[in-house]
């Protein structure tokens, strides 16, 4: 056994609390090592000095004060923070606000308002799409009702076509926006 391990076990060795095998190993090491033997003598001298000190008398009031402090029941707010009391209090507060709120419908208004707003936006888009579809049907009807012959198409100027296309796009923008 090494000296460091024996140094930790010397006080336990002197009190006689080591197991038999460990006791014999420590005793053999102390007999063979001068440093550990000197440490054991110093520890034994310190233990004897501590045991020779007479205990001081304890005043009677100290004992009475300790008994009063340990047996007296004190009021504490800590039991109020137990989970069942916190849950009961939160249910009470929520039910109080729920049942005393002047307009119960206002609790659900934000959800209904958002749903209505989304519905109205979808309705606007559908209306615009219907307008575009109607406009495209009119354009298709115009092109079907007045078929132009190939010669007339060749005669038209490219600028006139651009003007009619830009006019159609402007009308389409007006319908969409």
> What is the mean predicted confidence (pLDDT) over 23-51?
91
pLDDT in tens, 83-96: 888 888 899 998 88
Position with higher pLDDT, 95 vs 133: 95
Question: 23 pLDDT exceeds 60?
Answer: yes
Q: Are 37 and 31 in contact (CB under 8 A)?
A: yes
Spell out the residues 6+ positions from residue 135 whose beta carbon is closer than 8 angstroms to its own. 171, 172, 175
Question: 81 pLDDT exceeds 50?
Answer: yes
Residue 159 has what pLDDT? Answer: 47
- Torsion of Cα atoms, 40 then 43 then 48 then 50, to 10°: -170
Give the C-alpha separation, 12 to 30, whole Å.
14
Q: What's the pLDDT band for 126 if we cut at 50, 70, 90?
A: confident
> What is the mean predicted confidence (pLDDT) over 167-173?
56
> What is the mean predicted confidence (pLDDT) over 133-142?
69
Give the C-alpha separation, 32 to 174, whole Å.
110
pTM, entire model = 0.35
Give the C-alpha separation, 98 to 101, whole Å.
6
Residue 79 has what pLDDT? Answer: 67
> What is the mean predicted confidence (pLDDT) over 102-117?
60
List the alpha helices (DSSP H) in the chain. 3-15, 20-32, 34-52, 60-71, 83-100, 109-145, 150-155, 158-176
The label of the residue with tokens 């420590």 reads 26
Q: Are 176 and 125 in contact (CB under 8 A)?
A: no
* Phi, psi (deg, nearest 5) at residue 146: -120, 75
Question: 137 pLDDT exceeds 80?
Answer: no
């Amino acid at each position: 056994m090494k000296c460091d391990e024996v140094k930790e076990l010397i006080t336990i060795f002197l009190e006689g609390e080591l197991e038999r095998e460990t006791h014999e190993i420590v005793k053999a090491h102390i007999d063979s090592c001068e440093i550990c033997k000197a440490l054991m003598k110093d520890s034994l001298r310190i233990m004897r000095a501590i045991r020779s000190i007479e205990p001081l008398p304890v005043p009677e009031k100290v004992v009475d004060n300790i008994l009063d402090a340990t047996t007296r029941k004190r009021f504490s707010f800590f039991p109020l923070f137990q989970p069942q009391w916190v849950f009961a209090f939160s249910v009470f507060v929520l039910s109080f606000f729920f049942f005393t709120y002047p307009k119960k419908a206002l609790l659900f208004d934000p959800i209904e308002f958002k749903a209505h707003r989304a519905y109205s936006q979808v309705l606007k888009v559908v209306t615009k799409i219907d307008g575009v579809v109607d406009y495209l049907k009119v354009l298709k009807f115009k092109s079907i009702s007045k078929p132009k012959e190939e010669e007339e198409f060749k005669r038209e100027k490219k600028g006139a076509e651009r003007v009619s296309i830009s006019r159609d796009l402007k009308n389409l923008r007006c319908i969409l926006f």
